[in-house]
Structure 1
Amino acid sequence: MNSLVLLVIGLAIFTAGYLVYSKYLSERVYQLDAAHTTPAHELSDGVDYVPTNKFVLWGHHFTSVAGAAPIVGPGIAVIWGWLPAFLWVTVGTVFFAGMHDLGALWASARNRGQSIGTLSGRYIGPRGRNLFLVVIFLLLLMVIAAFAVVITDLLIGTPSSVIPAWGAIAVAAVVGQMIYRWRMNLLLTTVIGVTALYSLILLGDRYPIELPESTLGMSPATFWIVALFLYAGIASVLPVWVLLQPRDYINGVQLFIGLGILYAAVLFSAPTVVAPAFNGNVPDGTPGLVPLLFVTIACGAISGFHGMVSSGTSSKQLDKETDARFVGYFGAVGEGLLALGAIIAATAGFRTVAEWEEVYSAFGNGGVGAFVDGGGAIVEGGLGLPASLSATILATMAVLFAATTMDTAVRLLRFVVQEGGELLKVNVSKSVATAIVLILGLGLTFSQGAGGEGGMRIWPLFGTTNQLLASLTLSIVAVMLMRKGRNAWPALVPLALVFTMAFYAAIVQLGNLYDAQDWLLLGLDLVIVVAAVWVAFEAVLSMRSARAGESEDAELVDRS
């Protein structure tokens, strides 16, 4: 199979999805209204609620939801063959992710920017809300701890990415001033910001930075993890326009440039996909394709984390409700493009099948490493860029996206802690909530050693937890649509498939954890499964009430 064929078909599917299906969802299902006053205007505070240009907001939303997951998931899942991964990424993006992300953004914007966890209280009930918040809390904690380790590994493994990764913070701070304080033209600001960022990439490739064995008494891994948490904590309490938003916007632009470089290399070299379409010779110990494919590839097909970003930060910055189509649905398409690039890099970036099989010698292999190495080889062969520079560009992309997801997740978890305080009748300030998040995140990350081994401790639960959350988010969207008398099937069909596959995977995982006698993860997985089933049950009751004619404004029955 020629990789160029995969690229063209994938781009055609994504284009049709945005031009046709997202238009149907926006006009007929969600009925987006430009005249509707968004939370950004109604509750404007200059910190979290900030009316934002849709292109800038798209950059924030896209890079926050993307992270490293659309690289890691597809980069691992091609072990079953490139065709299942390709189909799930393309079909999942168009009919699952776009619908889910746009739906969560619309639902929150219609409810004063409330998070999906808070919305569950209104549309599912108080008991469902409490259990929903448990699932969200655990998922965000997984993201924060694990992404800190992923970024650290990249900074250590690709030292040429250190300067551009940290220099991007300064670039973003200046870009924020250029947009909001100096009111400069957005196109000019973008050109200046991206030029500065790629200058840092060239500088980093020329002067890689490797930390000594001890920095301030810490190993390189410990130092980078602590630095990342401190940065994420500071970024999470600053007004979004100061750092978070411009950083994400510039990262979004540079990602599309990076993808353009990768796709151009595919166009000029048309490398052969050496991996099989269906791999009938998977290594021993590889789990079955069903249901694991649907939880291994989350971001890039559908992801519950996206609903938290849509309802946690993006909905609070939406200038016009009609911007939700571009921000939410096209944000999902952007992530699908990244996942497609990861599939091509991880299957066509190797010279022979034997070389590919050597990398994919066990389930879990591949991921970011296959993307950086395979993509670097494609760029070198297609555009003639030096291998080191190609690897630096791709590694920097991965670091910056993981970092934007991490600092957004810290902000979101701070919101969850504050919401939990409200439920307990305790006023938790922004600074206290952030301190709690950092302490819990660092505690988990260093729970098994100073190298951050604990950061991946509960990561095996991420896939199933994330997809269960996506299905629960879709249940809220479905209830809202039913109460408004609109077509809920675009939400119900993805909801049924995703919940079935995620629940199936969670049950399989319970058995594996029991056999491994991993009592901590077994207990956490059991809590997540019970909470998800309970919320799903409450959601079904709410759907029945909605179908019976309960209106949007009807008072909810407290089933607790």
Structure 2
Amino acid sequence: MNIAVAMLLSIAGLTIGFFTWGKYVARRSGVNPNLPTPAVRINDGVDYVPAKPIVLLGHHYASIAAAGPIIGPTLALIYGFIPAWLWLLFGVIFIGAVHDFSALFVSVRENGRSIAHIAKKTLGNTGFALFLSFAILLIMLVNAAFLQLTAIALTSTYPISKLGLPPDQTLLKTTIVKGEIYGKIGGIASTSVIIITIFAPLVGYLLYKKHIKTYIASLIALSIVLISVIIGLKFPVSLNPQIWMVIILIYSFIASWIPVWVILQPRDFTNVHFLYIGLATMVLGIIGSGLAGIKIQAPTFNIDSLSMEALGPIWPFLFVTIACGAVSGAHSLIATGTTSKQISNEKYTHLIGYGAMLLESLLGMSVLLVILSAVDFEHYKELVWPIENGHLKQGNAPLAFAVSVGKTLNNGLGIPIFFGTIFGILMLEGFLITTIDTLFRLMRYFFEELWNVLFVKKPAILESRMFNALLAIILTAILSFTNGYQKIWPIFGSANQLLAALTLVAVTAWFAQKSIKAYFAAIPAGFMIITTMASLSILLKKYIESKNLTLTITDILLLSLASGVIVLTFKYFFKLRAELSKQKFVEQMK
């Protein structure tokens, strides 16, 4: 298939989904633009802050997208093009976007409460504690994987000969690896990250305290991004990956407890301009490549021994590997943890909740098509699933994505390969950092809520935002420094989509309380529960056999917590059904 045709079919399918199923779900849910939102009613200047719709869409999209729709589809391509593409299209329209919208809408109606707190209304304190614990474990897995991916991206190098540059070039700073000249493309991203972070408080001050016009703030943000890249070309920062992990953890510790307008919102606002440009450029590059005659360079299906060794059986592991690009429980944590506290009108829940998830799927589809148009399947496997001494070793999925962006933009738009590759690594880095700092803040929220359930009288230290932020950092660091991202990814994906299932169960129960039959949430919940519980069970056997104690314990905890939530949910629905039957009988007797 021509690569442009595949891209246009993807865009058409997602657009139709937004205006048909998305509108139907919003209408069935009862969106009411006349009801004041928590951001408007509470507006405490710290967590509850009404944001401009376009700014909030950018913050939410950057926070949910992250590396998931980039790394997940990159890894899942080992199964072939068709399975990955179909799940990205139909999974997001009927499950992923429904999940994101429903979680956001219900949270707005519940004073900006987290999804765990929403579950409390139906499952009680026990269910609340189980849900919170599950969410905390998931965030640990997400941030542990993303932390490593960030460090890999920031330290990536690539042969300059494959970037179309001569040995005497002066554009990129270089290093020698086994006698070959490599360009420090990750170092450019490192410098850019540092500069954008330093200037984030200034952007936040101008945007939220001085209330400058959004377009002026956008021009300032774009200027900062451009300057950061120019400086990065001249002065790339080169550090050891583990040092980068420590630095990011320190930054995340600070960002997780200071007011959102200081770093979190402005940094996301700055980054998202680059991310939007990146997504648009990828789409145009793919279409341009198609017009140049480029076709998909991968088998439609690739179910073989390598894909089985890499990930496992296509069901359930295709679904949990792609994860964020189609369905993601982590989105419910962001939607109900930060976004619902900033939305200024209910009418924007469809745009931000459903729409942003479709944009994420478009990113995932673009990643698939960028890779398939840029490298042949053998080169893809060398980068992402390399084999050494007859066994798979950890590949460099971020580099595979960046290199593919470079080649696609060169084929489709005539942009030099090295510029496109740098562009790809910068785009990935922007997604990674924005999600990491947002999720650490959410983890801090969840610890604070968990202590309220577990203790009648909390020790003073558990009231401290700094202590809870530090606890989140330490637990994530332990997991991240003991396991590679490709080992963490399958259990992260399983936990992530299982939380999505549990979230859909919780919102179905909430709608039932309001006498709304939410089949649009209940049916996807059932499918996702079966799929993810199966994947966690298969992984548990694998972890026990390989004697991986950390992931074995994590898997057992996830299965136990999820089982507890499911049992409590069934009890609730049986009780609700009995109450409704009793009520109907009483009405008939009158």
1:137 aligns with 2:160: no
Q: Output the CA distance in 2 between the equivalents of 1:547 and 1:369.
A: 53
Q: Output the CA distance in 1 between the equivalents of 2:231 and 2:188.
A: 8
Moved more, 200-209 or 316-325: 200-209
Partner of 1:297: 322
Are the equivalent residues in 1 in contact too, given 2:320–2:490 (CA < 8 A)? no
Give the Å deviation of 1:365.
Answer: 4.9
Deviation string, structure 1 residues 527-553 (Cα, Å, up to 9, x no partner): 2112112211211222333444569xx
The CA RMSD over aligned residues, in Å, is: 2.1
Moved more, 331-340 or 143-152: 143-152
Give the Å deviation of 1:36.
Answer: 1.5
1:489 aligns with 2:519: yes
Partner of 2:450: 420
Partner of 2:496: 466
Partner of 1:541: 571
Give the Å deviation of 1:206.
Answer: 4.3
1:252 aligns with 2:272: yes
CA change 1:365–1:489 in 2 (3 A) is farther
CA change 1:454–1:383 in 2 (3 A) is closer
CA change 1:206–1:385 in 2 (3 A) is farther
Q: Output the CA distance in 2 between the equivalents of 1:140 and 1:125.
A: 23
Q: Output the CA distance in 1 between the equivalents of 2:486 and 2:304.
A: 28
Partner of 1:393, secondary structure, is helix
Partner of 1:510: 540
Give the Å deviation of 1:456.
Answer: 7.2
Q: Which structure 2 residue ranges, 5 or more long, are not aligned?
A: 157-185, 582-590
Partner of 1:111: 110
Are the equivalent residues in 1 in contact too, given 2:71–2:398 (CA < 8 A)? yes
CA change 1:420–1:457 in 2 (3 A) is farther
Partner of 1:148, secondary structure, is helix
The one-letter amino acid of 1:234's match is I
1:330 aligns with 2:355: yes
Partner of 2:374: 349
Give the Å deviation of 1:479.
Answer: 0.6
TM score, norm. by length of structure 2: 0.87
Are the equivalent residues in 2 in contact too, given 1:78–1:346 (CA < 8 A)? no
User: Which of 286, 306, 309 is matched with 2:331 structurally?
Assistant: 306
Partner of 2:19: 19
Are the equivalent residues in 2 in contact too, given 1:74–1:342 (CA < 8 A)? yes
Larger radius of gyration: 2
Moved more, 469-478 or 236-245: 236-245
CA change 1:365–1:493 in 2 (3 A) is farther
Are the equivalent residues in 2 in contact too, given 1:483–1:547 (CA < 8 A)? no
**Aligned pairs for 1:141-180 within 5 A:** 141-157=140-156, 158-180=186-208
1:9 aligns with 2:9: yes
Are the equivalent residues in 2 in contact too, given 1:268–1:382 (CA < 8 A)? yes
TM score, norm. by length of structure 1: 0.91
Partner of 1:214: none
Partner of 1:558: none
Moved more, 329-338 or 356-365: 356-365
CA change 1:191–1:165 in 2 (3 A) is same
Q: Output the CA distance in 1 between the equivalents of 2:77 and 2:112.
A: 38
Moved more, 436-445 or 520-529: 436-445
Are the equivalent residues in 1 in contact too, given 2:37–2:109 (CA < 8 A)? yes
CA change 1:15–1:421 in 2 (3 A) is same
Partner of 2:463, secondary structure, is coil
CA change 1:193–1:479 in 2 (3 A) is same
Deviation string, structure 1 residues 234-279 (Cα, Å, up to 9, x no partner): 1112221222112212322321211111111122221211111111
Partner of 1:445: 480
Partner of 1:182: 210
Q: Output the CA distance in 2 between the equivalents of 1:397 and 1:550.
A: 52
Partner of 1:201: 229
Give the Å deviation of 1:42.
Answer: 2.4
Partner of 1:556: none
Q: Output the CA distance in 2 between the equivalents of 1:280 and 1:40.
A: 49
Moved more, 360-369 or 314-323: 360-369
Q: Output the CA distance in 1 between the equivalents of 2:442 and 2:258.
A: 13
Q: Output the CA distance in 1 between the equivalents of 2:361 and 2:192.
A: 25
Q: Output the CA distance in 2 between the equivalents of 1:59 and 1:269.
A: 28
Give the Å deviation of 1:346.
Answer: 2.3
Are the equivalent residues in 2 in contact too, given 1:258–1:397 (CA < 8 A)? yes
**Aligned pairs for 1:203-282 within 5 A:** 203-211=231-239, 220-270=240-290, 271-282=294-305
Q: Output the CA distance in 2 between the equivalents of 1:188 and 1:2.
A: 40
Partner of 2:76: 77
Deviation string, structure 1 residues 469-510 (Cα, Å, up to 9, x no partner): 110000011011111111311001111111111011111112
Are the equivalent residues in 1 in contact too, given 2:479–2:550 (CA < 8 A)? no
Are the equivalent residues in 2 in contact too, given 1:63–1:404 (CA < 8 A)? yes
Give the Å deviation of 1:101.
Answer: 0.5
Deviation string, structure 1 residues 97-151 (Cα, Å, up to 9, x no partner): 1110111111111111111112221122222222212211111112222222211
Are the equivalent residues in 2 in contact too, given 1:201–1:392 (CA < 8 A)? no
The one-letter amino acid of 1:489's match is Y
Moved more, 91-100 or 365-374: 365-374
Are the equivalent residues in 1 in contact too, given 2:289–2:373 (CA < 8 A)? no
Deviation string, structure 1 residues 31-78 (Cα, Å, up to 9, x no partner): 111121211122221010101111111111111111111101000101
User: Which of 425, 441, 453 is matched with 1:411 structurally?
Assistant: 441
Sequence identity percentage: 31
Give the Å deviation of 1:209.
Answer: 2.5
Are the equivalent residues in 2 in contact too, given 1:71–1:338 (CA < 8 A)? yes
Q: Output the CA distance in 1 between the equivalents of 2:106 and 2:123.
A: 14
Are the equivalent residues in 2 in contact too, given 1:444–1:455 (CA < 8 A)? no
Partner of 2:32: 33
Are the equivalent residues in 2 in contact too, given 1:149–1:456 (CA < 8 A)? no
Q: Output the CA distance in 2 between the equivalents of 1:230 and 1:396.
A: 21
Q: Output the CA distance in 1 between the equivalents of 2:337 and 2:580.
A: 27
CA change 1:152–1:353 in 2 (3 A) is closer
CA change 1:354–1:518 in 2 (3 A) is closer
The one-letter amino acid of 1:32's match is V
Moved more, 100-109 or 190-199: 190-199
Give the Å deviation of 1:282.
Answer: 5.0
User: Which of 440, 463, 467 is matched with 1:432 structurally?
Assistant: 467
Are the equivalent residues in 2 in contact too, given 1:205–1:392 (CA < 8 A)? no
Partner of 2:177: none
Partner of 1:49, secondary structure, is coil
Partner of 1:557: none
Q: Output the CA distance in 1 between the equivalents of 2:395 and 2:317.
A: 15
Matched pairs, number: 536
The one-letter amino acid of 1:10's match is S
Q: Output the CA distance in 1 between the equivalents of 2:524 and 2:363.
A: 22
Deviation string, structure 1 residues 430-458 (Cα, Å, up to 9, x no partner): 12211222233334434x4xxxx577775
The one-letter amino acid of 1:274's match is Q
1:371 aligns with 2:401: yes
Are the equivalent residues in 1 in contact too, given 2:275–2:430 (CA < 8 A)? no
CA change 1:249–1:546 in 2 (3 A) is farther
Give the Å deviation of 1:367.
Answer: 3.1
Are the equivalent residues in 2 in contact too, given 1:171–1:193 (CA < 8 A)? no
User: Which of 498, 508, 520 is matched with 2:550 structurally?
Assistant: 520
